[in-house]
Structure 1
Amino acid sequence: MSDAGAGSERVRRDLLSATALGVFRLNGQFLAVSDELAAPAGLSAARWQVLGAVLREPLPVAGIARVMGITRQSVQRVADVLAGQGLAEYVPNPAHRRAKLLRPTDAGRAAVALIGPGHARLADRLAAELGDEGFAAVVLCLERLSDALGRISGEDPAP
């Protein structure tokens, strides 16, 4: 391999490392902010994440895990806690006898609604910091990165 080829290979490795470290830091920041936003509703970031995944339509635990990019086992634990608290419930799945669907209860929807004002304030603050176009560009960049990682790892694309 030429020196130029080795140099570009090193640059790519450094870019991957910097990307991973940035995403790990961002993940930690998002979890901390999400826990703060969810606290007034009596939720954690993980509980909010799972409830949020089923607000539009009930999903099986495996479907929630796929959409969120997390393990089925971790979703199952959180879903069971939510059901135990009366914030979500399992209902029959017409497509699969054993894999029940998770859906929010009225209490679960009310809890998520309590997060709305803080969520809106954070969105406004980020938009003020990044600008509307910059904020949209961040979303696009994260989606592109996620899609690319999914393609090269053989994952099904997220919905």
Structure 2
Amino acid sequence: MPRLETQQPAPDFSLLDQDGNTVSLKDFAGRKLIIFFYPAAMTPGCTKEACDFRDSLARLQGAGYEVVGISPDTPEKQKKFIEKESLTYPLLSDPDHAVMDAYGAWGEKSLYGKKVTGVIRSTVVVGEDGTVELGKYNIKATGHVASLSKALGLD
């Protein structure tokens, strides 16, 4: 799956959030947006990453960034994840992985030494003008927000 490159337009999307509301890329027009793609709500690595974003949200928002998470989970499961972990940003449901495909976050990966098709843990930063500012793929859940903050010059 091709990965997004800096300065290319971010693919538009409209997905349901944890409350069943439609959230679109255009809802963030004029603002910077961090989109992180994760494999499954309530799994250890994804919980670590999601809580890391939660704990860093005030600092990220202070620097002008909004945050959304996207996984193939249903809105109902996303809502349970938010409630269980006290997450403070939207989680979007992409069950047919169309948005993940468009963002290069779905494809073949190695899992415990086996080739599988699924979510490639990725983060894409979209600028105020709707273009890609940064794309990070095959990232590790632990330490990801710190690495992202450094790449964005927030440290």
Give TM-score, length-normalised by structure 1: 0.27
- Normalising by structure 2, what TM-score? 0.28
Q: Over alpha carbons, which structure has the higher Rg?
A: 1
- Specify which structure has the higher proportion of strand: 2
Structure showing the higher helix proportion among its residues: 1
